Amino acid sequence: MVINYRPSGVCQGIASSDFQCKPGSCTQTAAKEYRSAFFWYIVPRLRHIRDLDMLYGDNGLRLARTIYSDSLDVRLEQGYRERYQAKAFRINDSRENRDAMAMLIFKGGAALRSCRRSDL
* Chain segment 29-77, per-residue pLDDT in tens: 888 888 888 888 889 999 999 999 999 999 999 999 999 998 888 988 9
- pLDDT (0 to 100) of residue 116: 73
Q: Are 109 and 70 in contact (CB under 8 A)?
A: no
Instruction: Find residue 22's DSSP bridge partners.
Output: 25
Q: What is the dihedral of CA 98, 91, 42, 67, to 10 degrees?
A: -100
Integer CA distances (angstroms), 108 to 21, 51, 57, 87, in order: 21, 20, 20, 18
- pLDDT (0 to 100) of residue 61: 93
- pLDDT (0 to 100) of residue 35: 84
- pLDDT (0 to 100) of residue 32: 84
Integer CA distances (angstroms), 40 to 45, 79, 118, 119, in order: 9, 16, 29, 27
Task: Provide the H-helix boundaries in 21-70.
Answer: 28-56, 58-67
Mean pLDDT, range 103-111, rounded to an integer: 92
